[in-house]
Amino acid sequence: MSCPPVSRCGCGCEWSAELIDDLEVVDARIKTANKELRQLVAATGSTLMELPGIGPAGAARLLADVGDIRRFATRDRFASWNGTAPLDASSRDQKRHRLSRAGNRKINRVLHIMAVAQQGGYGDGRAYVKVRKAEGKTHKGALRALKRRLSNTVYTRMVADQRRREKASPGGQSGASADSCATGSTPNTGSSDKPQPGPATYQPSELHTAP
């Protein structure tokens, strides 16, 4: 195996300089890709990137994998699909819940990144996690609750975007309606992280049925 090139001084600074140059090239490519994704997402009329913690890549992934948000009649079905609806894993002596591993892992990751960003102070997540921990949840449990809440936020925003597109399009039909208790922007401890019986299973006729 050949050794990496080193400078005449023997300190390896020439090799380090080459690595820095490579990283700068990669960084430039990432910036270009993000710029292109931002333009593509904006062209769809989506406002997902206005939500704290969602960048161009996350918004593009949501649009690509979710498709028509109207195929999810409620935010609970959306949460079951993306794996943020907690499942009952209680035993006789202990009541607890766990997240489903059967959901869409790519969308789950987008929501996880969103939750971590908000927990770090970018949005209302930090205050929400603090409230849930004060109620007795572990840090991990509070983060799971935040992901479930953000799933509601994303669902509500995508429904609103869909309605806006329909109003702008002549002859458009109304799509799914968000729950009246859809999550807002201020921390609360409502039913947004209510445990679900498990990932919803959809019949072919149900996928495109608006409520």
Q: What is the pLDDT of residues 3-49, one digit of tens each?
A: 555 445 555 577 788 888 788 888 888 888 888 989 999 999 999 99
Can you say how many angstroms the Cα of residue 79 is from the centroid of all Cα atoms in its chain? Answer: 11
CA angle 85, 65, 68 (to 5 degrees): 90
Residue 139 is predicted with a pLDDT of 93
Q: Please indicate, yes or no, if residue 1 is contained in any of the structural domains.
A: no
pLDDT of residue 177 exceeding 50: no
Query: Measured between alpha carbons, how far apart are the two ends of the chain, in Å?
Result: 64
Residue 95 is predicted with a pLDDT of 57
Q: Please indicate, yes or no, if residue 191 is contained in any of the structural domains.
A: no
Q: Please indicate, yes or no, if residue 208 is contained in any of the structural domains.
A: no
Q: Please indicate, yes or no, if residue 182 is contained in any of the structural domains.
A: no
pLDDT of residue 181 exceeding 90: no
- Out of 123-127, 136-140, 155-159, 197-201, the most confident range is 155-159
Q: Please indicate, yes or no, if residue 193 is contained in any of the structural domains.
A: no
pTM (two decimals): 0.69
pLDDT tens, position by position, 62-103: 999 999 999 999 999 999 999 999 766 555 665 555 566 678
Range of the domain at 151: 13-167
Can you say how many angstroms the Cα of residue 206 is from the centroid of all Cα atoms in its chain? Answer: 24
**Phi, psi (degrees; rounded to nearest 5) at 184:** -100, -160
Q: Please indicate, yes or no, if residue 116 is contained in any of the structural domains.
A: yes
What is the length of the chain?
211
Split into its structural domains, the chain has a count of: 1
Any long-range contacts for 108-112 (C-beta under 8 Å, 24+ apart)? 108/82, 108/83, 108/84, 108/147, 110/54, 110/58, 110/61, 110/62, 111/82, 111/84, 111/147, 111/150, 111/151, 111/154, 112/147
Provide the pLDDT confidence category of residue 104 given band limits of 50, 70 and 90. very high
The SS3 call for residue 94 is coil
Q: Please indicate, yes or no, if residue 189 is contained in any of the structural domains.
A: no
DSSP H or E stretch at residue 97? strand 97-99
Q: Please indicate, yes or no, if residue 140 is contained in any of the structural domains.
A: yes
Residue 179 is predicted with a pLDDT of 46
Residue 103 is predicted with a pLDDT of 83
